[in-house]
Structure 1
């Protein structure tokens, strides 16, 4: 390729590739649509209610620092789905969930009344309304311009816009948390790894302008606390908005070497450490990072049975061995509901390699949280299932996962992250700043 042609190609990629919606469409937000773009009305059958604002305030029994009391603890399951009645509900289930049920006769879904609990601060709603008129994809769809908070594309026209809505959804201003992860082997054996984690979100912060972002979405760090043989190892990530323009920056502190190293790549199909080879870098938060290696297609909306309002598995004091069963999580601690979800299909582009040649994502219409993902291997066979088990963190307010799982359907093993039942609850008011997420800070924290 000539130098002149290369320059022209780069210039083309820098141009916006999507038009903004008009005033008439944007005016629907907060009217027949929710402020984030979901359908405000319920469904015709009455099995999905209308959105009434979600859970935007904590209950009277809530105290700061508590594991969140279940506002729907009095709900009884409407029905149960298992391998025996799977055919009746197949159309409402992700392919991975169908396989999990078919292959595990003791596993089941307890389906509860639908509660549309997702909520966000008013300023996020206001920013989303602003974004509908101004947000645009740039760099061939690998970046977003004109926004600093809120959902960028509340009325998505294609799959790229929809996946950016998930990547850029509101998750608080900062979070400090203690969680555990485990790779559960086919025989049921596992080792817990306890992590201290901090996140400082730049996108979505009150008062931040697009110019303030400087191509940065958030800062992230973790430190391994246990087991002792891994304790002290740590990682810092500076997450860029357009990762084709500037790749994610990551540094790791190795306790054995007592030095900080810049990681050449922590993205796409790079394997996460200590996950038994189960988790690639881009499965964190169900999907993260640049979308450039996939072709994205928006397949529309469907009514699906998905994890939702997962307060039961979030409660304080539950022994982790009660949650982590052989082959699956304990189904009696999980809650499924019927919700409308956006369905996106991602196909790996030619010339790229990844364990998942195809992914099908199911995004909650009320929050843009990915709730489930079907994973297909290079031969086109269904190989995995991801699930995000969310709650409304109503004191923020923010809707997000309390537990994430990735099932290897062929190997009959799974990876789970977010176990916090016997740890301090998330602190959304932690005192953090970008200075806490540098190689120097990582080095000081490791000593």
Structure 2
């Protein structure tokens, strides 16, 4: 009996050591690679074997191209022409560097879907303080038990796992990535019918990281991830409605808190449906809450698997799609956005697969994400229904706000290949000004009481 007990104790100790090793931050030798053989955010600094992906050389400078009086960016690569264009007719030639969802788009829209492929530029560039934050994360941050929260992350705030060890850590990098510290924007959303007819929904939204809020209490800052507020300004039937979200680092221990101000009722109420597969705001049922920003929120309903890293043609450096000279009517087309205006490049991505846990609920039974190694932004996603059928395909038109040193999206789109409809959100070409970065805010701006004044029509 004594021998048996000792064996059990030794086994328990071994399992405990194994568990702690899995949850441990990376070694000092690995941390030292950041900024040397790896980029400061953990991408491979070197190019690929044939030179089609160049070495990272620091990314775009803050003066890469002219910025107009309204803040709209010029295109640093405006003079370039496509190397080639992938179509349904030559698809087989390029299949090895395409994702499943991209191939499905060619099959769904064989006559109109195309991918103009350009020379690759590794344009991602961030402030030095963010690089140092990522290095601190690599030294200190670990996953909480179960992987649904972060430990020892509050001091760094950005890029929890620049040297990821598993799929969940890759997704946390997307969730904790740098967005400019704080950002305000005026954007539109369109959900075209199959014939291309659409109406715009206009939003004013802002997001602030904890470092941008001057009076954030210390006890609140420990588990705070981001504060988000979104006001609908058109159409008239929705104008004045406001959404407020407080996201935490551990959303299982401290779930997302959300409120909605309904302008018609003049009432603020809690909004627990603004999470997971709750319906997206004014989306005509074409996206879920966690589809916004390609993926957001608590990861606890899925098992996450790291498939590996691969080279794919992904949307990249889509400055043209953000030019004020390009009208919404030029972008929004039947079936999919105008691929003539899109730009694709060959980049290395992390592929992660999420499978719904037994006993959990989400309309997506399986999801796959392709995450850019240089910015940790999700570039593409695939969402499967309960029958295992590919249902929705996400595509984020990656760009770089070089003047603010912040990677971003020109817009993101979610394609329903079963119904033939899609939703695009984030365009601001025809608005009165571009994004505003780096503002300081007060906690009083992100309280339920503040929603009433924000929602005045």
Please classify the TM superposition score into its range, dividing by the shorter chain length: over 0.9
Q: 2:380 aligns with which of 356, 367, 372?
A: 372
What aligned pairs does 1:68-83 form with structure 2 within 5 A after superposition? 68-83=73-88
Using the TM superposition, give the Cα deviation of residue 241 of structure 1 relative to its aligned residue in structure 2, in angstroms: 1.4
Structure 2 matches for 1:123-272, cutoff 5 A?
A: 123-147=129-153, 148-202=156-210, 213-272=221-280
Q: Please tell me whether residue 97 in structure 1 is matched to residue 113 in structure 2.
A: no
Contact map agreement 2:133 2:158 (CA 8 A) in 1: yes
Is 1:392 paired with 2:400? yes
Residues 227-260 of structure 1: per-residue CA shift (max 9 Å, x gap): 1121111111111111101111111111111111
27, 39, 43: which one pairs with 2:44?
A: 39
CA separation in 1, counterparts of 2:390 and 2:279? 20
Give the C-alpha shift of residue 406 in structure 1. 0.2
Match of residue 8 from structure 1: none
SS at match of 1:141: coil
Question: Deviation digits for residues 405-440 of structure 1, max 9, x if unmatched?
Answer: 000011110000001001110011445322111111
2:206 is paired with a residue whose SS is strand
Match of 1:114 among 110, 120, 131: 120
Show CA shifts across 1:352-403 (max 9, x none). Answer: 2222111111000001000000111111111111011111111110111120
CA distance in 2, matches of 1:400, 1:299: 25
| CA deviations over 1:189-213 (Å, ceiling 9, x no partner) | 2210001111111168899999762
Unaligned runs of 5+ in 2: 1-15
Corresponding residue number in structure 2 for 1:446: 455
Q: Distance in 1 between matches of 2:212 and 2:41?
A: 14
Q: Aligned partners of 1:32 and 1:114: how far apart in 2?
A: 20
Residues 1:436 and 2:445 are matched in the alignment: yes
With normalisation by structure 2, the TM-score equals: 0.91
Q: Which runs of 5+ in 1 are unaligned?
A: 1-11
Contact between 1:37 and 1:154, CA under 8 Å: does it hold in 2?
A: yes
**Structure 2: distance between partners of 1:211 and 1:126:** 24
Query: What's the secondary structure of 1:282's corresponding residue?
Result: helix
Bigger Rg, structure 1 or 2: 2
SS in 2 for 1:332: coil
1:3 corresponds in structure 2 to none
1:327 equivalenced with 2:335 (yes/no):
yes
Conserved in 2, the CA contact under 8 Å of 1:56 and 1:120?
no
Q: How does 1:294-373 map to 2 (within 5 A)?
A: 294-373=302-381
Superposed CA RMSD: 2.0
Residues 75-101 of structure 1 deviation map (CA, whole Å, 9 limit, x = unaligned): 110000010011111121111111111
User: Are 2:431 and 1:426 aligned?
Assistant: no
**Distance in 2 separating the partners of 1:336 and 1:207:** 42
The question of whether the paired residues in 2 share the 8 Å contact of 1:179 and 1:195 is answered with yes
CA distance in 1, matches of 2:304, 2:175: 14
- Is the 1:54–1:117 Cα contact (8 Å) retained in structure 2? yes
Matching of residues 12-51 of structure 1 within 5 Å: 18-51=23-56
* Bigger shift: residues 199-208 or 105-114: 199-208
Distance, in Å, in 1 between the alignment partners of 2:263 and 2:327 is 29
- Kept in 1: contact 2:74–2:319 (CA 8 A): yes
Q: Distance in 2 between matches of 1:203 and 1:213?
A: 9
Contact 1:294/1:346, CA 8 A, preserved across alignment: yes
Runs of 4+ in 1 over 4 A off after TM superposition: 203-212
CA 1:262–1:40 in 2, change beyond 3 Å: closer, same or farther?
A: same
Q: Secondary structure at the match of 1:386?
A: strand
Distance between the aligned counterparts of 1:446 and 1:320, measured in 2? 26
Q: TM-score, normalised by structure 1?
A: 0.93
Change (3 A) 1:160 1:204: farther
Q: Equivalents in 2 of 1:380, 1:53: separation in Å?
A: 41
